[in-house]
Structure 1
Amino acid sequence: MDYRCAQCNYTYEVAPVFTLMETEIIRTVCQLAGYAEGDGIFAPGGSISNMYGLVLARYHRYPHIKTAGMYGMRPLTLFTSEESHYSFVKAAHWLGLGADNCVHVKTNERGQMCPNDLEVKILQAQKDGSEPFFVNATAGSTVLGAFDDFNATADVCEKYGLWLHVDACLGGAALLSYNNRHLLAGLERSNSFAWNPHKSVGAPLQCSLFLTRERDLLTHCNSIQVNYLFQQDKFYDVSYDTGNKSVQCGRKIDAFKFWLMLKARGYGSFGRLLDHAIDISKVLIKKIEQRGNEHFRLVLDDFEYMNVCFWYIPKVLRGLEETPEWRERLHTVAPKIKERMAYCGTLMLGYTPLKYRGLGNFFRMVFTCFPVLEEGELDFILDEIERLGEECEY
């Protein structure tokens, strides 16, 4: 046998141990999510995991699309928040739904999707002749780390018969938390969700999960007859040939990375590490507030998860009238400091705008389980931003 086969999860016979590891993790995470029965697959990343949700929802609504395609059908419409991940627009393009049929729903001041606007957008799509079929709610938005109200969103989905998917690629780690599990309240009412352990938990890239509460739907949706590989008369239970319910053929043994981490530390240890990361993010917020509004300014008063977003105000901009021109100069600060960070090599911190809110570039600090940061390191981060900030011209 080619040694490379043992590193590929497509049939049980070539990777029996890794197949069982994947099965164990999927079963356990489904239980953590509140899925009485469920199924899932490891995918190359969150974008593909979210695409699995769309494909499954479409098949659930119209199984004939698998063979006959979408010819002659009304446009299928999906809904996701203004602050959701861009992968849904890309998925709409790749799956032939059309990017214009990915409808963005308004968010509140904290970045959470507004269920009332979701219902308005669903009714408008119906009026326009489209067919709503899928709603994505976000657990830990990319920029602000916001968690949508899953119960309120589920109420809307149940009212209109829509599939509810939760993009928990960032925030899914709250499943392991002791003190912050409430962030995922209502997740059990979703039809599917995606989670990237390579984000908050720190598993080696790539390590992404797609889970669904629909027990056999993933297999029915994706499996096709492949007599040379997925023979149905094998001597073992062919449901362990998980490659046929995947969009791939060859698949990395990504489950092994996460399985090994969990066996080494346990679910509980990661829960404590996650709670520490959230706690230390709150410490950073307090330190920013202590340095004063003239030096640093938070984008929000508080954040739900491990993201902290803020502006640094250099000396040349302090004490001036905060006109539109002043704000334009402020929004050049983070990119210039980031450039200095790259040249100095002392710090790596991202920045981003929220253009639809009229917010220009600000720093975005995202904490994770690893590295385990302590309070003194937060002082270094803020001190270094100030030091580098005064070396730049604005």
Structure 2
Amino acid sequence: MHVDAAWGGGLLMSQKHKWKLSGVERANSVTWNPHKMMGVPLQCSALLVREEGLMQSCNQMHASYLFQQDKHYDLSYDTGDKALQCGRHVDVFKLWLMWRAKGTAGFEAHIDKCLELAEYLYNIIKNREGYEMVFDGKPQHTNVCFWYVPPSLRVLEDNEERMSRLSKVAPVIKARMMEFGTTMVSYQPLGDKVNFFRMVISNPAATHQDIDFLIEEIERLGQDL
């Protein structure tokens, strides 16, 4: 079993939220991207595997001109045969430096703040006129997915025409955001769900006032659609 913890892996740093990864230790492999939730500079990703020696057996090329067996140091430090790239940056060093600077408590505060901001956003828009949540219930992470429904669409029945028009709303609002240089929020479709905003909060320096501004800006830029 593989667990994609690209975003969620950082929750292990939080005493409040780590329960959401309960059982991850049973996985055969886990992907984790500290450059996402934890704010480590790109690129910083990890693939963790349970089976010892698996990465080496899959990727090693036995390049004798690189990996001589009679070197004067412990050969386990030659990690090139464990990765497709062979030679590569020591990306984990960036995580180590940040961990030394912030500490586990600093990472925990970072993560808790981002999830608190996501919950704040959700609580504001879940019952606010003009907003519809894409999924039922409170988000378990920092992805808050929603539609902004302009006044012209609020009177329409939930049918194909409404969905077709709604699918064009988020792209137009994002384009206007970029033209004004005020905000940047991603949007996407998913299966039969037309384009919706997917707000991912990963900056612990953001404030409730920033979230309030985002909502007001979406409404300002989309009210005439």
TM-score, normalised via structure 2 length: 0.94
Q: Does 1:245 align with 2:78?
A: no
Moved over 6 A (4+): none
- Distance in 1, matches of 2:37 and 2:48, equals 18
CA shift digits 1:76-135 (9 cap, x unpaired): xxxxxxxxxxxxxxxxxxxxxxxxxxxxxxxxxxxxxxxxxxxxxxxxxxxxxxxxxxxx
- Distance in 2, matches of 1:211 and 1:343, equals 41
Q: Which residue of 2 aligns with 1:267?
A: 104
8 Å contact from structure 1 (residues 178, 275) kept in 2: no
Equivalent AA in structure 1 for residue 85 of structure 2: Q
> Which of 271, 280, 304 does residue 140 from structure 2 map onto?
304
Alignment of 1:1-394 (within 5 A): 164-292=1-129, 295-300=130-135, 301-355=137-191, 358-368=192-202, 370-391=203-224, 393=225
Aligned to 1:284, what secondary structure does the other structure show? helix
- Distance in 1, matches of 2:61 and 2:151, equals 64
- Distance in 1, matches of 2:83 and 2:71, equals 19
Equivalent AA in structure 2 for residue 230 of structure 1: F
Deviation at 1:268, TM superposition (A): 2.2
TM-score, normalised via structure 1 length: 0.55
Deviation at 1:346, TM superposition (A): 0.3
Deviation at 1:256, TM superposition (A): 1.2
Equivalent AA in structure 1 for residue 193 of structure 2: L
Aligned to 2:187, what secondary structure does the other structure show? strand
Aligned to 1:291, what secondary structure does the other structure show? coil
Deviation at 1:331, TM superposition (A): 1.5
Aligned residues: 224
- Distance in 1, matches of 2:100 and 2:157, equals 57
- Distance in 2, matches of 1:387 and 1:188, equals 46
Q: Percent identity?
A: 47
